[in-house]
Chain A
Amino acid sequence: MLSFFQYLESLKFGAGSEYTVAFINVSHLLCLVVFIGAVLVVDLRLLGSGMKRQPLSEVVRAANPWMLGGFVGMAITGSLQVVATPMKAYFSDQFWLKMELLIVAVILAVVVRLLTASRSEAPAWGKPAGLVSILLWSFIAVQGRLIGLLQ
């Protein structure tokens, strides 16, 4: 794994330009805003709040393209960020914690959407699932910010 990150380092992508890294970072953040908004409307609906007058499946279906678009944007800009500063990522505990939590959060998001695609009312497990989802994504965002802060 280390040799892969060292290989990335040898590419010198964006090397020497603080502005390139900042540009990638800001783009990542804008994708995050769209993504988290789309995730949050569904999570709030699962919690029995937010757009509760609409059927759950309708909220999920309307939010999906924006959630996916935001996620793809974050995956692209996030990967570029790693390619631009591979050693910083490799030696950051926050980075690895973020990646582990990300796997859990993605699985949860996919499972929730598969199980709610045709439900108009939130199931009993909707409340814990919605709450865990909000907490997970918030914590992932915190770790992301800390990668840049704790070095």
Chain B
Amino acid sequence: MIRSWFEWVDAMPSSIAIRESVFGYPYLLTSHAVSMALFAGLIIMMDLRLLGWAFKRTPLSQVQRQLFPWQMFTMVTSSITGAILLYGQPLRYYGKVFFWTKMVLMVFAGLNALYFHYTTYKTVAAWDTTDRPPFGAKLAGALSIALWFGVVIFGRITAYNWMTFSR
């Protein structure tokens, strides 16, 4: 079923136009890579604070609140460029194990952030200024770094043709 959606997009004139454009792929790919780096970099700066490894003198809630708009902005830019990349070559990505692995890791990274936000972060007032955050905060930070690093790794190796099961 998913395959038929990808085939449907693949046949759209706008998808073909992106695919056949000479500069489309390099422009999209480099914009995606840069916005990803800016996004992941800002996420990891916050994760390092969660671990108590960086910005120790700054309350966590302030790091979170002040970086959040930029995290969202860069997330939107990388999502848009990523979505257009996928839209232009749906069948290329459909057949890639690395692409799907990346998607799964992104879902887990999102769930990790949401879970932290609705559990450990509720008690932030009690440990906001300490440089030794509770275990739940450290775990969320470590998981976030691991998952987003995974997203970066699998995103990069999606460009190789290893473990491609169709096309």
Residues of A within 8 A of B (CB): 18, 22, 25-26, 29-30, 32-41, 44, 49-54, 58-59, 62-63, 65-66, 138, 141-142, 145-146, 148-150
Most buried by A among B55, B152, B159: B55
Q: List 26 A-B contacts (CB under 8 A).
A: A22-B157, A22-B160, A26-B156, A30-B152, A33-B40, A33-B41, A33-B148, A33-B152, A35-B41, A37-B45, A38-B45, A39-B41, A40-B38, A41-B42, A41-B67, A51-B66, A58-B58, A62-B54, A62-B57, A63-B54, A65-B54, A141-B37, A142-B30, A145-B33, A146-B26, A148-B159
Question: Which of A33, A35, A51 is the one whose CB lies under 8 Å from B62?
Answer: A51
In chain A, what residue has the closest Cβ to B63? A51
Q: Are A29 and B58 closer than 8 Å at their CB atoms?
A: no
Taking CB atoms, residues of chain B closer than 8 Å to A29 are 37, 152-153, 156
The yes or no answer to B132 lying at the interface (CB within 8 A) is no
Question: Which of A18, A33, A50, A148 is the one whose CB lies under 8 Å from B67?
Answer: A50
Would you give the 0/1 interface string for B42-72, flagging 1 where the beta carbon is closer than 8 Å to chain A? 1111001000001111100011001100100
The yes or no answer to B34 lying at the interface (CB within 8 A) is yes
Q: Are A141 and B34 closer than 8 Å at their CB atoms?
A: yes
Residues of B within 8 A of A (CB): 26, 29-30, 33-34, 37-38, 40-45, 48, 54-58, 62-63, 66-67, 70, 148-149, 152-153, 156-157, 159-160
In chain B, what residue has the closest Cβ to A32? B37
Taking CB atoms, residues of chain A closer than 8 Å to B62 are 51, 53-54
Question: Which of A50, A53, A142, A149 is the one whose CB lies under 8 Å from B34?
Answer: A142
Taking CB atoms, residues of chain B closer than 8 Å to A33 are 37, 40-41, 44, 148-149, 152
Return B51 CB to nearest CB of chain A, in Å. 12
Give Cα distance in the complex from A40 to B66, angstroms: 13
Give the 3 A-B residue pairs with the shortest CB-CB distance, closest first.
Answer: A37-B41, A36-B41, A142-B30
Most buried by A among B37, B42, B56, B156: B37
Question: Which of A18, A25, A37, A138 is the one whose CB lies under 8 Å from B42?
Answer: A37
Provide the main secondary structure of the chain A interface.
helix
Q: Are B153 and A26 closer than 8 Å at their CB atoms?
A: yes
Taking CB atoms, residues of chain B closer than 8 Å to A62 are 54-58
